[in-house]
Amino acid sequence: MESQPIGGNKRNFYEEVIKDHLQKGPVEHEYSFGFLSELMEDALDMIDGACRVEYISPPVNICGDIRSRYGDLLDVFRNCGWPFDQKYVFLGNFIDGGKFSLETLVMLVCCKMCYPQNFVILRGFFENELVKTERSFIGELRVRFSDSNKWQALNATIKSYLKRLPVVAVLNRKILCVNGMVTSNIKNEKNVVSVKNGNSFENHNTRLEVMFVETDLPSPITPNKIDEESKTLRDLLKSMDMSMMINSDNVVKQGYQFTLCHQLLTITTGTKLVKTHNNRGIVMMMDRHNKVHFKGIQGLDGEERDDLISVPLRC
């Protein structure tokens, strides 16, 4: 079941919210309890919790971790296409509970409601942790709403929304898009999805377990380990008639990185996400002819960049 745009006056209202956020730039917004409550209730009414896999086609922009870097999110829209004109996939970890988490959430939820066919938002490690633990969703809620009944009500509603987000996207019936990793060696049925295979096996589905990986920087692995993981991924992709996988499970200093014999592409979109290094932000842009570019993101508080890196991608 495909999501339909929210209709009538509500869509007009949320489109005005989007425009207001784009115009004001990376500043904190004063949200009322009533606004956030209605926004999340409307979002819950639209989202189909049973839809755990999204199927997308180009042209599309693929974004990795944002982690509440709201200025980076606005810069993505400014440099890679406005949300009402361009199709986007966010690979999860779009919030981390820090400053501007609410602004980032409000912006993406409004875009998803107004342009559902243009927006895919996956649940990542951070969102999954917030759903399955007793942690408060955002420290900001307690700061902005001193009334415990209010922030607890918002916390519960936001968690319900995050729980219903899809966990896998498939691009062009050939590329798996996830936040962490997937495996066909299923151990936890709660995280299992059924994915349509590629064109050669289009009448068959494969059951995959989605694994949410807690890591910021890739740990060193031995050549034997690389060979083993490369073979495992190659066998899985071959069995599904797919060419590669895109994920966002760790911070890549240069913004994107091919590993496992060019079968795995990791993307980081938010800038300066870890203290150990100032990572670059990248958006993968695929046009209608399947040609791929990697666009650098600086953030609205930095200098504008016009670099566009062209790299071949197997589709």
Domain boundary assignment for the chain: 8-310
Distances (CA, A) of 29 to 101, 104, 159, 180, 223: 11, 11, 21, 31, 49
Residue 222 above 80 pLDDT? Answer: no
pLDDT score for 116: 93
| Whole-number Å distance between alpha carbons of 284 and 292 | 7
pLDDT score for 74: 96
Q: Which residues pair with 193 in a beta bridge?
A: 208
Give all strands of the β-sheet with 256-259 in edge-to-edge order.
Answer: 53-56, 168-171, 175-177, 244-247, 264-267, 256-259
> Beta strands 88-90 and 192-196: pairing type?
unpaired
Longest dimension (CA), the chain: 59
Confidence of residue 303 (pLDDT cuts 50, 70, 90): very low
| Whole-number Å distance between alpha carbons of 212 and 273 | 18
Question: Which of residues 277 and 155 earns the better pLDDT score?
Answer: 155
Confidence of residue 198 (pLDDT cuts 50, 70, 90): confident
- Burial category of 75 from C-beta neighbours within 10 Å (exposed 0-12, middle 13-18, buried 19 and up): buried
- Sign of the dihedral defined by the CA atoms of residues 265, 301, 272, 249, in that order: negative
Per this entry, what is the length of the chain? 315
Residue 17: CB partners within 8 Å, gap ≥ 6?
106, 110
Q: Which residues pair with 219 in a beta bridge?
A: none
Angle between helix axes 8-24 and 33-46 (nearest 10 degrees) is: 120
Six-digit token string for 60: 């599309």
Fold adopted by 8-310: Purple Acid Phosphatase; chain A, domain 2 (3.60.21)
Q: Which residues pair with 257 in a beta bridge?
A: 266
Write the pLDDT tens digit of every residue in 17-40: 999 999 999 999 999 999 999 999
pLDDT score for 304: 42
